[in-house]
Copies of this chain bind each other. A is one copy, B any other.
Amino acid sequence: MKKGVMRPGHVQIRVLDLNEAVKHYVELMGLIEMDRDQEGRVYLKAWTEVDKYSVILRESYEPGMDFMGFKCTSEEVVEELRKELLARGCEVEDIPEGDLKDCGRRVQFRAPTGHLFELFATKEQTGKWGVGDHNPEAWPRGLSGMRASRFDHCLLYGPNLPETLDLFSSVLGFDLAEQVVAPDGTRVAQFLTVGMKAHDVAFIHNDEPDKFHHASFFLETWHDVLRAADLLSMTDTAIDIGPTRHGLTHGQTIYFFDPSGNRNEVFAGGDYHYPDHPPVTWDADELGKAIFYHDRQLNERFLTVLT
């Protein structure tokens, strides 16, 4: 957090049918619907989050990610980072307060991978759902489904990984926590963190820009990963892979699809990071094991990504 960027604050996901999507993210994954806006967007939060929401669902003709936003410690930080982005030649777009409900101004920019990101510092805080911050119980009764506890990160596919790493590290203060490197030294995957988590955003090289692999949510335990898998079967939801473990980050994971075809991950565990930790490096010829530690090979579905 050395430049004042704290964490992934929200992700806006496009869905084909809003009602089906709300059912998926609320009843199955356990997010909580907090609000809707005049454009019809639905605002969801995970229960341990202090901010009012972390997921915005927007009905559209095709699935995918509109943008991912990082929360900063102050408006001054947002202003300063805006200047640094401009100084690098990045175009930025200023989104006024209130465009997202109960959220302050946002500064949008496009990364060299083609993805749209944004920085913001102000959002209404409603506190941890069901427990608050005064003599809080261990967890709230009444959570649904997988009981996802927080929005954790996104995995994105696109070109220009070196330029993207440089932007995220030198301007935004991210560290390269983990990477996959080809025999010729090319970095084909980079996992970036701005705090102590194994990753806050990750990129895998892809010739086409702006592809969305998945949005990921945190569960508390490997038992919760099993419960999630069980719930996916009970609701006849398409599983991509899992329950399994990743080699990269060592998290315990399952991948599946929302009704629009967006991939979701829920996971538990995983490594932690400090700024003095050297990046962990996987050889590209170990990519199968790096991604799926037990199967040690990629399935075809993993390779498909959304526009």
Interface residues of A (CB under 8 A from B): 1-2, 6-7, 48, 50, 71, 73, 125, 127, 133-139, 141, 195-197, 220-223, 226, 229-234, 239, 242-245, 247, 250, 252, 254, 269, 271-272, 274-283, 286, 289-290, 293-296
The 10 tightest CB contacts between A and B, nearest first, are: A196-B196, A229-B294, A133-B280, A138-B230, A138-B250, A223-B223, A137-B234, A195-B196, A135-B286, A50-B277
Q: Given contacts A2-B1, A73-B276, A125-B276, is CB(A245)–CB(B226) below 8 Å?
A: yes
A294 to B256, CA, bound (A): 11
- Cβ-defined contact, B226 with A50, below 8 A: no
Report B-chain residues with C-beta under 8 Å of the C-beta of A71: 276
Most B Cβ at <10 Å: residue of A239, A281, A294: A294
A290 neighbours in B (Cβ, 8 Å): 135
Contact B275 A1 (CB under 8 A): yes
Q: How far does the Cβ of A11 sit from chain B's closest Cβ, in whole Å?
A: 17
Enumerate 29 A-B pairs (CB-CB under 8 Å) in ascending A order.
A48-B271, A50-B274, A50-B277, A71-B276, A73-B276, A134-B280, A134-B282, A134-B283, A135-B281, A135-B286, A135-B290, A136-B250, A137-B233, A138-B234, A138-B293, A141-B231, A221-B222, A221-B223, A222-B226, A229-B244, A229-B293, A229-B294, A230-B294, A233-B289, A233-B294, A233-B296, A242-B294, A243-B243, A243-B294
